[in-house]
Every structure is written in C-alpha cells, then in structure tokens.
Amino acid sequence: MMFKNPSKSLGTLSLFVLSGVCTVAACSSGSDSHGAPASVGGTSGDGTGASGGRSLPTGGSGGSGGTGAASSAEAGQAGDGSSEGGLLGEAGLPQGVVVVVPPAACSETAVWMSATPLSAVSTAAAETLLSITSDELDIVFLRAGAVFRAHRDAASGTFDAGTAVTLPDGYVATAGAALSGDGLTLVLVSTDGQSFASLSRASRTVDFGASADATAFAALNERSVQTLEHYAAPVLASDGSSFVFTGFTPGAAGLSVVYESALAAGEWAMPNNISNSVFDGTGTARKLPTGLSSDLRTLFYFDEGTNTETAIFRDRPDAPLYDMVPLGQLAGAAPNSACNRLYYSSSGDVLTETD
C-alpha cells in the first residue's frame, strides 16, 4: 500500500483506477493468478477467451441445497439453490465468448489520503458509523451506544447535529443497520438475531416511523427459522436491487457466510452464498459487510477475527468475489457513489478520506 500521509496511514486504501474498456478474455480488473472459484453448487463453466483469463461461471444449475450437512443450520449455509456465479446469474455462456468489462466504480490500487473526522457527527462522545447513503446526504450512527440520524443538503456541506432514532421493541442496531439509497428506509436486525425488518419515513428530514415492517423480509426470516442461522450486518445497494448480510451459527464451531439477495416483487428472494469459502468466517469471527459499491462490484467487510477491514472485488455483479485489498484496522467502511470518498469508524470517530 502507498501512503501520501504517513501520519494518517490508518484507513488509507490503495485502489487502481481503470481506464477504457477491457474484456474477460484479454484482461481483468484483478489478478488471474487465483484458482477456480469454490463452488456451492451449479455447473462452473471453463470457457475463456483466446488469450486466457478468468473462467466465466455458467450458473447452469442450482446449489447444493445443503446435501450431507450435519445439521439444519449447516444445510442452510451449504446452499439454497444458488449458483456460484453471484446474484444475477449469467447462464449458458459458450466457450470463447468475449464479455466486456467496463471500468468499476471502485478500483484496486490508488492512494487515498487526508483522513478527517466527520464534522458534527464526530464529537467528544464515541461514535460508530452504521450506514451512509451513497449520495452522502444521510447517515446513521451510534453515539455513546444510542442510534442517531443526521442529514445535510449537499455532499460538500456539514451534517446537522443529529437526532436520536427510537427503535421499536425487539430490534437493535448493535448487529448493524442499513439505509436505503434514498434515505427513507432503515433496515434493522431483531434482538434475537433471526429476522430483519425496516422502518420508513416520508422524507429525509423527519423521524423514522415507530413500526417495524418485516413484509419484504418474509422469506429470509422464515429461512432463519428453518436453518437455525442468525443474521447480522445488513447492507442495501444504493439502487435497491441487492441486499447483502451475514448469516451465521453462533459459537466458535459455527459457520459464518456472506449472503446476497435480489428483490423480486417487493420481497427479498432466497439468498446466494457469495463468500464461497473465499472469505467465510466462524460464529465468533464473522466477516461482516459494511458497504457495497454503486455498481455492486466491490464489497467492503469487517473481519472480527483480525479487527480489520477489507475490500473484495469482482468483474461483474454476477461474478465471484476474488481479489482483496486490506484496509487496515478500521471498521464500517462504505464508499460514496463515485467511490472517490470513503467513510469509516476508528478510535471513536467517524472519518472520511478522499482520493
């Protein structure tokens, strides 16, 4: 990693800005030195372009469905009819097909600098970032353990002092919370960790409603009952098309995986396992999603085992996540829409860095 500001090396992210358009057959946004993706079911295509490069997943069949799992929880984590290709599933690609890979919103090796506490959000109290909209206008955070929201009219402006958010009975923010891209919805995790629900509001400058609505999460919540999994760390895509979260079996012997779900007819569908053994965790050392790029090609997550943050990349929203960039000992990293500004928590402050 390269640092332009040695005194603020914490949280400096090395990213690479791609220019132009390349193809999977000829080049890649990441390294081609990694092995084949770990499969959780489905047929993995081996077709590449004439110049070699990353295999294109076909996503031709369902997941493993947890066959042979020792428990119902393991069965749910082993597979839910998902393909290893990712959320959107590009199927049936023949060998030699050239797929255009446009530049990603986030890149892998440029230098970020000038870490600065976020004015009005970071105070003498201890603050922790929960979620920020990709347009940078709304933020939800913990202040001395209580949930606060704040708003500003422009990304270049200053947030207001913040207003406390009253959570409904049975829900907490200690397991994470997620703002929708328009700032009007806040996703929470239940106190028992086995369900999601959301609060809503009419505008960005008013309080969230007091009633938790679990309608959109009905399938996911029913799934947790069947698999005995618990949920944490919800993250919503800025366009509302994707929902990323951690599912885990509590305890050191439990498995922790990262899931991604698509919205269909107003309800979040059965999720795909997108950690795929590449960045799985345990029940006590989980990988917790914290941010998702606007193009769905970069996921940021916090590793409880090492207390560090990582960015992991993929060539397309439906491709496996492979190439990792360590971000250091910070937490809650989330990018803005252009991925030229990063927000995160460190040492009791919410900070931001710009490219």
Q: According to the model, what pLDDT value does residue 22 have?
A: 37
Assess if residue 128 is contained within a domain: yes
Distance CA 238, CA 242 (A): 8
pLDDT tens, residue by residue, 106-134: 988 757 678 999 999 999 999 999 999 99
Assess if residue 184 is contained within a domain: yes
pLDDT tens, residue by residue, 149-183: 999 999 999 999 999 999 999 999 999 999 999 99
Q: Which residue range(s) make up the domain with 159?
A: 113-346
Q: What is the mean pLDDT of residues 287-297?
A: 97
Q: How confident is the model at residue 93 (pLDDT cuts 50, 70, 90)?
A: low
Assess if residue 66 is contained within a domain: no
Q: Is the pLDDT of residue 76 over 90?
A: no
Q: Is the pLDDT of residue 13 over 60?
A: no
Q: According to the model, what pLDDT value does residue 135 have?
A: 98
CB atoms within 10 A of CB 266: 7
Assess if residue 100 is contained within a domain: no
Please state which of the ranges 48-52, 197-201, 238-242, 268-272 shows the lowest mean pLDDT.
48-52
Contact status, residue 119 vs residue 161, Cβ threshold 8 Å: no
Q: According to the model, what pLDDT value does residue 110 have?
A: 53
More confident residue, 312 or 62: 312
* CATH for 323: 2.120.10
Assess if residue 3 is contained within a domain: no
Q: Is 303 helix (H, G, I), strand (E, B) or coil?
A: strand
Tell me phi and psi for residue 266, to 5 degrees. 80, 5
CB atoms within 10 A of CB 211: 10
Assess if residue 37 is contained within a domain: no
Q: According to the model, what pLDDT value does residue 148 have?
A: 98
Assess if residue 132 is contained within a domain: yes
pLDDT tens, residue by residue, 43-65: 333 333 333 222 222 233 333 23
- As to burial, measured by CB atoms within 10 angstroms (0-12 exposed, 13-18 middle, 19+ buried), residue 277 is exposed
Assess if residue 94 is contained within a domain: no
Q: Is the pLDDT of residue 308 over 80?
A: yes
- Number of domains, the chain: 1
Distance CA 106, CA 295 (A): 9
Q: What is the mean pLDDT of residues 3-31?
A: 32
